[in-house]
Amino acid sequence: MKKNIKIKLNSKLWNKNIVPSVGNAFIRSATLSKKKNKKTNFFKEEILMKKLLILILICGLAIGLSAKIHVFAGGNMDWANLSAKSGAASLDSESKFGFHAGGSYIMDMGQIMIEPGVKFQTRGYAYTIGDKTYDANYIDIFGKFGYTLSEAIPATVYLGIDFGILMTAEAAGRDVKDEMKALNISVPVGLRYVFMDKFTTSFEYDLGVTNLLDGEAAKYLDMTFQSFLFSVGYLF
């Protein structure tokens, strides 16, 4: 999958090793500001993680012993929707393969399904500037609501919301986590089929809805992630 996107290739986006020679005072100020931003981002991520974990624990307790535990793993094809704010240079982005694994609670109330869960997922894309790649790792906390077709056809269609907490991010081998927002919000839509009452297979499309770039990069480009996921699982 290829996308030709016109963006302004600013050295601030791809190479922050080039620092304008405007004096030692400027360099010290930039260094202190970066350290402060790292500390602030760390506390924001920590608070966000605690809130989302509390939410999923509450959902799990609400479901109680009637829930089935679902563990799953599989592969995903990821790409980025890139929207340039200015400039005329071109950038060809391509899809990139990754993987995911996690667990969830599934409660069936008749034909209605409720499923809170957590998973690890890689996301990223490739771009043609020197055959570079962008790679990010997320811990996703999600909630899904679905409808099961029938007992004879144990297939469930579902819709949900996914809160991805950024763990690491690299572009062309350079750490760019500080240039990314800590939270990725996406909307999963999918189909899951249960066979032999224990095994599952799922197909899902994950639509990112938030611009993930932060700081200087966000002045030039909007970026959201999209994914196709395929997984197999087991019900306890």
**What beta strand segments (E) does the chain contain?**
2-7, 68-84, 89-94, 96-109, 112-127, 132-148, 155-171, 174-175, 183-195, 199-208, 221-235
CATH of domain 18-235: 2.40.160.20
How many CB atoms within 10 Å of residue 85? 11
The C-alpha atoms of residue 138 and residue 100 are separated, in whole angstroms, by: 10
How many CB atoms within 10 Å of residue 95? 19
**Mean per-residue pLDDT of the chain:** 79
Return the domain boundaries, the chain: 18-235
Task: Summarize the confidence of residues 145-160 as an average pLDDT.
Answer: 94
How many CB atoms within 10 Å of residue 175? 10
Of the two residues 168 and 1, the one the predictor is more confident about is 168
Amino acid at 57: L
Condensed to tens digits (0 to 9), the pLDDT of residues 18-52 reads: 333 333 433 344 444 454 455 555 566 667 776 67
Condensed to tens digits (0 to 9), the pLDDT of residues 105-115 reads: 998 888 999 99
Going by C-alpha positions, the residue among 231, 166, 163 that lies closest to residue 200 is 231
Residue-level pLDDT at 44: 62
Share of the chain above pLDDT 70, in %: 69
